[in-house]
């Protein structure tokens, strides 16, 4: 399916949809299916809005590189279940340091940020 037109609200061909959806309407697209010889009209709507705070990162590369680094995590020997989760997520045991090495993204997903060891 190919998008041949993408229109802002109020443009010709969107007025009836603007009346129907009002301020929620963001974009109207006309998609064409060459095999079925059909045209589809799709709309993009705002369904929710919330307050948000800007993060410390101003560009995507800074954010990505921050979370792309590995960190070391302390997990006690008796915490078998947690060790298995870390190991399954790709964690590497560092016997010399007695710590697990794991990507920051995975540490966040596993909710073990409080176990990160600063060297």
Same domain, 71 and 110: yes
Same domain, 77 and 111: yes
SS3 118: coil
pLDDT at residue 62 above 60? Answer: no
Domain, as residue range, for 25 = 2-45
Partners of residue 29 on adjacent β-strands: 6, 42
Same domain, 40 and 10: yes
pLDDT number for residue 53: 60
Answer whether residue 14 is part of any domain: yes
Answer whether residue 60 is part of any domain: no
pLDDT at residue 104 above 70? Answer: yes
Answer whether residue 58 is part of any domain: no
Same domain, 73 and 38: no
Q: Which residues contact 7 (CB under 8 A, 6 or more apart)?
A: 13, 14, 27, 28, 29, 30
Enter the pTM of the model.
0.45
Domain count across the chain: 2
Answer whether residue 57 is part of any domain: no
Specify the DSSP element, H or E, that contains 66.
helix 60-67
The answer to whether 102 and 94 have CB atoms below 8 angstroms apart is: no
Cα of 112 vs its chain's centroid, Å: 19
Answer whether residue 62 is part of any domain: no
Strands of the 92-94 sheet, one edge to the other: 92-94, 99-103, 70-73, 116-117
Answer whether residue 39 is part of any domain: yes
DSSP character string of 82-116:
HHHHHHHTT-EEETTTTEEEEEHHHHHHTT-GGGE
User: 5-17, pLDDT tens digit by residue?
Assistant: 899 998 998 899 9
User: 30-61, pLDDT tens digit by residue?
Assistant: 999 999 999 999 999 999 887 766 555 555 55
Answer whether residue 104 is part of any domain: yes
Answer whether residue 8 is part of any domain: yes
């Amino acid at each position: 399916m190919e998008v041949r037109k993408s229109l802002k609200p109020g443009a010709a061909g969107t007025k009836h949809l603007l009346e129907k959806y009002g301020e929620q309407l963001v974009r109207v697209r006309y998609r064409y299916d060459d095999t079925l010889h059909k045209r589809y009209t799709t709309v993009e709507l705002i369904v929710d809005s919330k307050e948000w705070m800007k993060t410390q990162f101003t560009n995507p590369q800074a954010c990505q590189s921050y979370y792309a680094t590995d960190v070391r995590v302390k997990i006690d020997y008796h915490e078998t279940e947690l060790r298995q989760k870390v190991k399954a997520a790709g964690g590497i045991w560092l016997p010399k340091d007695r710590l697990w090495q794991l990507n920051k993204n995975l540490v966040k997903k596993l909710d073990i940020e409080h176990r990160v060891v600063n060297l």
